[in-house]
Structure 1
Amino acid sequence: MVNEIKKIEDNVISTLGDIKRAVADFTNMFVDMRGNITDEMLKRGDEIERREESFKTLFEETRKTLTSDIEAEKQKLIHLQGKLEQPAIAFYVHHLKDLFPDTSDEILIFARTFTNEGTGYDTSTGLFTAPVGGLYQFDVHTCAYNGKYSYLGLVMEGDVIAADANYGDANHGCNNFGAIVRVRSGEQVWVKSTSSASNRQLY
């Protein structure tokens, strides 16, 4: 009986040892697994943070680009609105005050107006003053008296930008001349005589 009890005791001790070893192995495995899980979670957390930063950066760049584009479009609209609000400028004048331009540089004054939108043309001085800057077209139509000559120039701020020389035949020869020029606000344009002599006369 003692021997049997001893065998049982040895078996129990051996089994307990196996259980302890199994528990230890399981504990170690659990610790390793937990460590791996923790490392994986940390890695995933870092990846999520990196992606979040990348998204924030991309969002901020996109926001700045959109803001800049919107501002640029806004400025374009403001510019277009300013253009639409500009008044129409046009004048159509006739009937010269002086048909005998006997001095060079004498300004020809057209006394009557059909149209003077923007009130740029002054019938007392013969000067057109641009109310707003822009691209302007000027056309001049004059006739020389029968047997007489005319030498005229279209002038902008003192510079002749178009000129005309004409002789009046039996039908009072007529000519057209003009120019398309960019004029700044406040600049002046006029028609003048470019030559003086006793045989100069307009019709």
Structure 2
Amino acid sequence: SSAQAVNHSTLEVRFETEVDELKTKSDESLKDLKNSLKITENNVEILKKENQERKVVFSASLSGGEWANHGPYSTDVTLVYKHVFINIGNAYNPVTGIFTAPVRGVYKFKIYAHGYSGRGVTVSLQKNGHHVTGAYAYQDQHVVNSSNGVSLLLEVGDVVCVKVKANEWIFDNWFSPHHL
């Protein structure tokens, strides 16, 4: 009958309208999700970049392998580690021998000292001009080595350096480079 046909046709129109509305809502939700994902990806990239910028790693030796004595001096002298292997973050200055913390964090330092033949080998790792730890060795004959390490909580601008103590010395060559 014609009444049934009209009802069927009306039902079809309503059904199509509801499907279109659901599709539109679904498309909008998908668009929102894509925008959220894009924002999240951008935030992740920003965090990665910030994390990369905050990385601080350096390793250096007093020389590039040539034989050299450092000391004895009449006063404590800052050692300048001129041969830089790595300096991510550029926090170590190979001209002054001073490391300056660019961000607040825990930094781990290792020091090595090498010497020989009846001389004291003494170096002092200092934070903001104050002794924190050192490496010392003495032996009547032949070579002698000493090492030490420390983890320090540094604030932005704190400085760390290694000094050879007054009247002491260290030796450097390509067999046993003294490095930080």
TM-score bin, normalised by smaller chain = 0.5 to 0.7
Distance 1:112 1:69, change over 3 A: closer
Identity over the aligned pairs, expressed in percent? Answer: 14
Inter-partner Cα distance in structure 2 for 1:165 and 1:82:
35
Larger Rg: 1
Question: What code does the residue aligned with 2:100 have?
Answer: T
Q: Which has the higher contact order (CA 8 A, sep 6+)?
A: 2
**Conserved in 2, the CA contact under 8 Å of 1:91 and 1:113?**
no
For 2:29, the equivalent position in structure 1 comes to: 61
Inter-partner Cα distance in structure 2 for 1:38 and 1:45:
10
**Conserved in 2, the CA contact under 8 Å of 1:140 and 1:176?**
yes
**Conserved in 2, the CA contact under 8 Å of 1:141 and 1:176?**
yes
Inter-partner Cα distance in structure 1 for 2:134 and 2:55:
31
Distance 1:46 1:119, change over 3 A: closer
Shift of 1:109: 0.5
**Conserved in 1, the CA contact under 8 Å of 2:125 and 2:163?**
yes
Would you say 1:176 and 2:147 are equivalent positions?
yes
Distance 1:157 1:134, change over 3 A: farther
Shift of 1:122: 6.1
184, 187, 190: which is aligned to 2:161?
190
For 2:169, the equivalent position in structure 1 comes to: 202
Secondary structure of the structure 2 residue equivalent to 1:53: helix
Inter-partner Cα distance in structure 2 for 1:159 and 1:76:
40
Distance 1:62 1:115, change over 3 A: same
Question: What code does the residue aligned with 1:167 have?
Answer: A
Shift of 1:143: 3.9
Distance 1:135 1:149, change over 3 A: closer
Inter-partner Cα distance in structure 2 for 1:121 and 1:36:
90
20, 38, 50: which is aligned to 1:52?
20
53, 69, 92: which is aligned to 1:120?
92
* Root mean square deviation, CA, Å: 4.6
Q: Within 5 A, what are the aligned runs for 1:1-203?
A: 33-78=1-46, 80=48, 90=58, 92-94=60-62, 99=73, 108-111=77-80, 113-115=82-84, 118=90, 120-121=92-93, 123-124=95-96, 126-130=97-101, 138-143=109-114, 146=118, 148=120, 150=122, 152-153=124-125, 155=127, 160=132, 163-170=133-140, 171=142, 173-178=144-149, 186-191=157-162, 201-203=168-170
Shift of 1:47: 1.1
TM-score w.r.t. length of structure 1: 0.52
Question: What code does the residue aligned with 1:66 have?
Answer: K
Shift of 1:151: 6.7
Shift of 1:128: 0.9
Distance 1:67 1:97, change over 3 A: farther
